[in-house]
Amino acid sequence: MNNEYQTYHLVDYGFQINPEFPVVGYTEKITNAICVSHAHPRAQLIYASSGVMNVVVENQIWVVNPLQGLWIPGGMEHQVSFQQDVNLYSVFIDPSFTAGLPATTFSFDISEFLKQLLFKIISFKIDGIITPSQRRIMDVFMDELASIQPSATFLPTTNHLVLSNVVELLLEDVASKHTIEYYAEISCMSSRTLSRLFIKELGMNFSDWRIRLKLLEAIKRLGEKQSVKEIAFDLGYETTSAFIFMFKKHLGKTPSNYILEDFA
């Protein structure tokens, strides 16, 4: 995997406060780039028709694939990295129109209808006057946004001094087979205490968090066109079938079907 990222230069649409243009958007193809941590007053919907994005907001990490969008409220600091080739689509909503929209960041399964509205809005020119027809499309778009529901494809992290060190070790070695007892010992605490920290700080136990980590890493690698066999062994599975079983159990489809449906 290529970890050499270029710096992606921010577009200024998110910083423009203008109720005359409730929704503005743009599209761009981005390759191996990172958009440094930033915040803007407009809320944002991020979507990629192909490729994978890694998005960090507060203490959570999302790996966003082509079947999902990511909603980010205005004023929320975030960082986005684009894995290899990403066809990015993004829209920004003026603060005066976000009262009925979600107030927290989350990824969601994006419907075909919402995608088509997104594409249509991005096609509008933003240097003229919004027509009544365009405004009606924007209103329908915002009605659809108000009804989106979160998906579970995110990875919680933490600022807790001890637990963040354990999390960093796990992120650096996704294939690790070390038990919670190992991480507890190097953290100078009991495994019971560390287990309680995982639940308190991350909302899930050690095993579930590590499985979530492997799933998100698998999704990212699938988006990079790596083979299922290669991913399985890189994530520490003894057999490809064991990895496929885990993937299907948690995501409802095999990695091969995920490739066909999500990254076609």
DSSP character string of 21-47? SSEEEEEEEEEEEEEEEE--SSEEEEE
Q: Tell me, what's the pLDDT at 261?
A: 58
Q: Tell me, what's the pLDDT at 136?
A: 95
Q: Tell me, what's the pLDDT at 52?
A: 83
* pLDDT tens, residue order, the chain (264 aa): 445 678 877 778 899 999 989 999 999 999 889 998 999 999 999 999 888 888 999 888 888 878 789 999 999 999 999 977 899 999 999 999 999 899 999 989 889 999 999 999 999 977 778 899 999 999 999 999 999 988 877 888 888 999 999 999 999 999 999 999 999 999 999 999 999 999 999 999 999 999 999 998 898 888 777 899 999 999 999 999 999 999 999 888 899 887 665 555
Residues 46, 72: contact at Cβ < 8 Å? yes
Q: Which of 9, 51, 104, 69 is nearest to 222 (CA)?
A: 51
Q: Tell me, what's the pLDDT at 89?
A: 95
Q: Tell me, what's the pLDDT at 194?
A: 96
This prediction has a pTM of 0.76
Strands (E) in 15-153, as ranges, are: 23-38, 43-57, 60-64, 68-72, 78-93, 106-109
Q: Tell me, what's the pLDDT at 183?
A: 97
Q: Tell me, what's the pLDDT at 94?
A: 96
HSE (CB half, 13 Å, CA atoms) of 76? 24
